[in-house]
Amino acid sequence: MSRILIAGIVVFLALLALLVTVGVHEEQRLVTAAQIDRARQIEQGALLYEQHCRTCHGSNGEGLGALGPALHDAHFFTGRLREVGWAGSMHDYVATTIANGRITATRPLYVGDGEVAMPPWSRASGGPLRYDQIEALTAFVLNWQPTALGEVIVAPMPTPTPLAVSDAAQIARGRQLYGEAGCAACHGDNADGVANVGPALTGIGAGAGERVPGVSPEEYLRASVLIPAAHVAEGYARPGDCAAIMTDVQLTDLVAYLLTVE
Ligand code: HEC
Ligand code: HEC
């Protein structure tokens, strides 16, 4: 064999090895980038869910009585498509439901008196959300599948930060949050209520503990912000739009303030 031929083969093999290495790395890089994109999408979906969905489907997709069904149970992921006769994929079922809503419910529990069961969310159907936001919400809902099927064991919900003996600074922070989180718009600057919009919260400090048997004032007030549909004040047909996104510490401050409202 001529030296040139051998040299040629060596160079060829070296190039091949290089290409294979670069190719493998490129593939790994793409996989990681796709995983990061997906994680971001799920995160965005979680925020949108907090804002638009938890008042009917519950903070963790557990469902809220007659307001909305559970979205995180095994039945939803294994039996639901067959039940409604949907031939497409789970992804398309979830995305289509979110985009178009449900004019009539498929189950008697959710059939209201002439009211739409679930409003549409896509702009094309008159809702407020963009296509990529519907996709993010879909990714978030589908993300419950492994836990719903028992493949992943979730750590129990962290217990709320205990209410420290409230001090003046904490109450002042809570008072400020009450304005910033928009509570004042419906409940009045001094928590004395806004006619036809939101009830007065006067006396809520003492009254919250008597609203629901077995529910402490702190729990009742936290639920008012986290899942307004959990308890509906007397005289109101539907839950107020009290839901606000805040950290656990902020919520603790807010509750400390509300407990002082006389
Ligand atoms: C006003 C209450 C309400 C809100 C807000 C709401 N939903 Fe629903 N949703 C419902 C009801 C009621 C149904 C079930 C109707 C039925 O039985 O067909 C439903 C059904 C669904 C389903 C199909 C569940 C199934 O078992 O077939 C999905 C998925 C869903 N909602 C996701 C969402 C997402 C995501 C949001 C937020 C963008 C949202 N929903 C906001 C009330 C609501
Ligand atoms: C868009 C109007 C609106 C906003 C904003 C709002 N609420 Fe409400 N809130 C209501 C309505 C209406 C009710 C009565 C129905 C119910 O209990 O859900 C209510 C009920 C409550 C109750 C129960 C009252 C009782 O007597 O049991 C509490 C506590 C409460 N809201 C706290 C808050 C807090 C804290 C915020 C701010 C994070 C807030 N709300 C924001 C409208 C609103």
Q: Say how many Å lie between the first and final Cα of the chain, rounded.
A: 100
Residue 133's closest CA among 31, 35, 226, 40? 40
Ligand 2: which residue has its CA nearest to atom 20? 240
Residue 208's closest CA among 156, 157, 163? 163
**Residue predicted with more confidence, 41 or 166:** 41
pLDDT of residue 114: 61
98 lines ligand 1 (CB under 6 A): yes
Cα angle 140, 117, 110 (rounded to 5 degrees) comes to 100
Ligand 1 closest atom vs CA 76: 26
Separation between Cα atoms, residue 137 and residue 131, nearest integer Å: 10
How sure is the predictor about 249, in pLDDT bands with cuts at 50, 70 and 90? confident
Sign of CA dihedral 250, 255, 256, 261: positive
Ligand 2 closest atom vs CA 197: 12
Burial class (CB in 10 A: 0-12, 13-18, 19+), 81: middle
- The CA 40 to ligand 1 mean position distance, Å, reads 23
Residue 156 has pLDDT above 80, yes or no: no
Residue-wise pLDDT for 2-11, tens only, equals 777 788 888 7
Residue 67's closest CA among 234, 231, 246? 231
Q: How far is CA 139 from CA 29, 136, 205, 225, 245, in A?
A: 22, 5, 40, 25, 20
Residue 158 has pLDDT above 60, yes or no: no
Residue 177 has pLDDT above 80, yes or no: yes
133-142, 155-164, 211-220, 243-252: the lowest-pLDDT one: 155-164
Separation between Cα atoms, residue 262 and residue 257, nearest integer Å: 10
pLDDT of residue 92: 93
Residue 154 has pLDDT above 70, yes or no: no
Residue-wise pLDDT for 203-245, tens only, equals 888 888 787 777 778 878 887 776 666 677 778 877 777 776 6
How sure is the predictor about 148, in pLDDT bands with cuts at 50, 70 and 90? confident
188 lines ligand 2 (CB under 6 A): no
Q: How far is CA 54 from CA 61, 185, 232, in A?
A: 7, 21, 15
Number of the ligand closest to the Cα of 86? 1
Residue-wise pLDDT for 107-118, tens only, equals 777 765 566 778
Ligand 1: which residue has its CA nearest to atom 15? 105
pLDDT of residue 125: 85
53 lines ligand 1 (CB under 6 A): yes
Give the tokens for residue 87: 């031939």
Ligand 1: which residue has its CA nearest to atom 29? 94
Residue-wise pLDDT for 26-57, tens only, equals 777 777 888 889 899 999 999 999 888 988 88
Q: In the chain, what is the greatest distance between 2 CA atoms, to the nearest angstrom?
A: 100
State how far Cα 91 lies from the chain centre: 17
Give the tokens for residue 42: 């799920």
pLDDT of residue 167: 85
Contact partners, residue 46, CB within 8 Å, separation at least 6 = 140
Separation between Cα atoms, residue 230 and residue 64, nearest integer Å: 7
Residue-wise pLDDT for 49-87, tens only, equals 988 898 888 888 988 777 788 999 899 999 898 888 888
Give the tokens for residue 212: 């629901």
Separation between Cα atoms, residue 207 and residue 216, nearest integer Å: 10
Residue 104 has pLDDT above 90, yes or no: no
Separation between Cα atoms, residue 41 and residue 214, nearest integer Å: 39
